[in-house]
A and B are shown apart, each in its own frame.
Chain A
Amino acid sequence: MYSEKVMDHFTNPRNVGEIEEASGVGTVGNAKCGDIMRMYLDIDENHVIRDCKFKTFGCGAAVATSSMATELVKGKTVQEAMKVTNKAVLEALDGLPPVKVHCSLLAEEAIHAALWDYAQKNGLEIEGLEKPKSDIHEDEEEDEEY
């Protein structure tokens, strides 16, 4: 069901953990749909992401996308991190099964939520960054039965 890369990041997730006194923390998703992602960012004075850690409650795809997202934002400036979209995470993982694509949305949201927290704490404005939603809403259509 999952690509080799997804399985690799699921079984050996990178950057699991917490950062004490993080520059920014963001938690997205909800327990109702079974995915919660929390991302911690450690950002230096030049707005470069020095370190990134995550904790995730969710399926294999949710864990793998969290892990890959931390890898992708590490070492980037906050502005560059804004370009780590769900598409970028998906591509880096060689794709996800269609029913799991919403997990990659969560990774992008988690990055944004953590960046928003950082911007709020420091009175900054990050171009293109909007206040994160409190959770992710799903509008997936189910096939009607007749």
Chain B
Amino acid sequence: MDHRIYLDNAATTRTDAKVVEAMIPFFGECYGNPSSIYSLGAASKKAMNSAREAIAESLNTTPQEIYFTAGGSESDNWALIAAAEAYESKGRHIITSKIEHHAILHTCDYLKKRGFEITYLDVDADGVIDLEQLKASIRKDTILISIMAANNEIGTIQPIAQIGAIAKERDVLFHTDAVQAYGHIPIDVKACHIDMLSASGHKLHGPKGIGFLYIRQGLKLRSFIHGGSQERKRRAGTENVPAIAGLGTAVKLAFENMDENAKKITAMRDYLIEKIEKEIPYCKLNGHRTERLPNNVNFSFTFIEGESLLIMLDMKGICASSGSACTSGSLDPSHVLLAIGLPHEQAHGSLRLTLSEENTYEELDYTVEAVKEIVAKLRNMSPLYEDFCKKQKG
């Protein structure tokens, strides 16, 4: 196969051609500032309104509750820090989980340094939080629960409706990082009692550098950027109109085709999981088998290290990702894989393959063959595999 096989859609997605098309006018003839009075600015304003309406509709909420940001990380930072500051007179206790994205965990570290107390909920072997532990962790001074809708590494979907119900009953704010989930599975912020939700455009074939934060009406959070009156004065600065127009189109496409795409991708996901389990010995599926994102496949291959696997896959034209330390830029493997109880060597040997509707079964077959061949090659040079084989014989 001479073309690239892209299986890293949790990292980013290919910007849809229709999205690019929707953005282009706003780099060209429609360059007006949306805050301007004259008609040149009106086209920009209109595109922004249309995007905001599409997002609001997709979440079952109103456009006034959608605030454009530069992406998921900004949304997470804003939600956590602003909520902590707004409610610190009530208390300084925040509940999150051990498997959150670093945009949440490092923001919690920041708040911790400023006197907030953080409880990190455990997850079970499938990566699901324990609702009883959540209930037991809520105290009088708990002001916020932040639990992701679905995990970026292992794809496990959290019971956000139940979490929301618990938060509402106990009068605690509920934020969810829905960066991986939004546009892939339906989320109703009203039904799930979500107070704040973070999402990003480039995970659903939209442009990079744009996302949004949903803030429930009535929630008094401070402005993220002070200045002009953009985004109801909460995030000042002239809006990134081309990116917002692109995001709007990406959201419309994602929700129009959600059922069809989810069905197609889930079938491909399960095909890939089954084939890997059948073809490659000593592997383990990470994450929940059914309560997982339609596009996520994550395996650990015992006795091998992930970065080596990724480089060799790249040489065969396959783009994938791993939770190994070497790919994270630190010396520790993925905190998510450690939290679900994997020993270090298995966490280092993980492979994440994340699909999109653009993938084909032919690509999946080729990928499984490639993974099988590379895993065998790496095991052949692994001292851990050598020890294992000797133990088997002896």
Q: Tell me, in angstroms, the Cα distance from A38 to B326 when the chains sit together.
A: 19
Contact (A31, B386) CB under 8 Å given A58-B308, A60-B311: no
Q: Which residues of A contact B331 (CB under 8 A)?
A: 33-34, 138, 140
Q: Tell me, in angstroms, the Cα distance from A38 to B2 when the chains sit together.
A: 36
Q: Which residues of B contact A33 (CB under 8 A)?
A: 325, 331-332, 344
In the complex, are the beta carbons of B386 and A55 less than 8 A apart?
yes
Interface bracket on B: 20 to 34
In the complex, are the beta carbons of A13 and B311 less than 8 A apart?
no
Q: Which of A1-59 contact B (CB under 8 A)?
A: 2, 10-11, 13, 16, 18, 27, 31-38, 54-59
Q: Does any Cβ of B come within 8 Å of A91's Cβ?
A: no
Q: Which residues of A contact B345 (CB under 8 A)?
A: 31, 34, 57
Q: Which residues of A contact B344 (CB under 8 A)?
A: 31-34
In the complex, are the beta carbons of A63 and B381 less than 8 A apart?
yes
In the complex, are the beta carbons of B384 and A31 less than 8 A apart?
yes
B77 to chain A, nearest CB (A): 12
Q: Tell me, in angstroms, the Cα distance from A145 to B315 when the chains sit together.
A: 36
Q: Which residues of B contact A32 (CB under 8 A)?
A: 344
In the complex, are the beta carbons of B381 and A59 less than 8 A apart?
no
Which of the segments B143-151, B161-169, B299-307 contacts the partner chain? B299-307
Q: Which residues of B contact A38 (CB under 8 A)?
A: 383, 386
Q: Does any Cβ of A come within 8 Å of B218's Cβ?
A: no
Q: Which residues of A contact B332 (CB under 8 A)?
A: 33
Which of B330, B332, B380, B383 has the most CB atoms of chain A within a 10 A radius of its CB? Answer: B383
In the complex, are the beta carbons of A36 and B383 less than 8 A apart?
yes
Q: Does any Cβ of B come within 8 Å of A142's Cβ?
A: yes
In the complex, are the beta carbons of B348 and A11 less than 8 A apart?
no
Top 6 A-B residue pairs of the complex, sorted by shortest distance between their CB atoms: A31-B345, A59-B326, A59-B307, A38-B383, A55-B383, A34-B348
